[in-house]
Amino acid sequence: MGTQALIDTSGFDPARPKFDIHGVRSLLPHRFEFEQLSGLFEIDGERQMAIGFKRYTEEEFWVRGHVPGSPLLPGVLMIEACAQLGACYCHHIYKEWGGFWALAAVDKVRYRGAVRPGDTVIYVDKLLQIRSRLMRFQFQGVLSGKIVVEGELTGMRVEAAAAVG
């Protein structure tokens, strides 16, 4: 894994997502402070990719306390956004499996830039492996054409899950 982008994100416009926040909510049970995606551009089973984004505002729960006076998005929330994106992929492409996709592991994570209120990050997940109870993605977060986070994540399907929708 290097710093080469998985895709060119310059053509994605957050004002024109394929799935808005309501579409995201139809795929994930996360709500309130734990909604880490604002919308989805693509869920592509053929290319085995999901592309989404998050608009970070001054109202985010972490702004007040994570570096007061110069708020900085906690890196773990970037990982959570990528995990939620992977779960959207699984719920969309493998609807019949049901359950809840929970983050199980992260590997090879590198942070390469700061994200602050007012920024919009485009997140990209590329499927590496999937089985009925396991998913593995390579992920990246891109801000203004620059990779700000990258790594690999593993999720596992948990049978007893909250309903989506």
Alpha-carbon span 148 to 111, nearest angstrom: 6
**Residue 120 included in any domain:** yes
The CA distances from residue 64 to 73, 114, 119, 143, in Å, are: 11, 16, 16, 22
Domain assignment present for residue 164? The answer is: no
Burial of 27 (0-12, 13-18, 19+ CB in 10 A): buried
Q: How many domains does the chain have?
A: 1
- Determine whether 132 is exposed, middle or buried from the number of CB atoms within 10 Å of its CB (0-12, 13-18, 19+): exposed
Taking all residues of the chain, what is their mean pLDDT, rounded to a whole number?
94
- What number is the average pLDDT over the span 90-96? 93
Are the C-beta atoms of 71 and 141 separated by less than 8 Å? no
Measured between alpha carbons, how far is 149 from 136 in angstroms, rounded to an integer?
Answer: 17
Query: pTM value?
Result: 0.94
pLDDT of amino acid 137: 98
Question: Is 97 part of any domain?
Answer: yes
Predicted confidence (pLDDT) per residue in 19-56, tens digit = 999 999 999 999 999 999 999 999 999 999 999 999 99
**Domain around 114:** 21-158
Note the pLDDT of residue 92.
Answer: 95
CATH of the domain at 66: 3.10.129.10
Enumerate the active-site residues: 66
15 within some domain: no
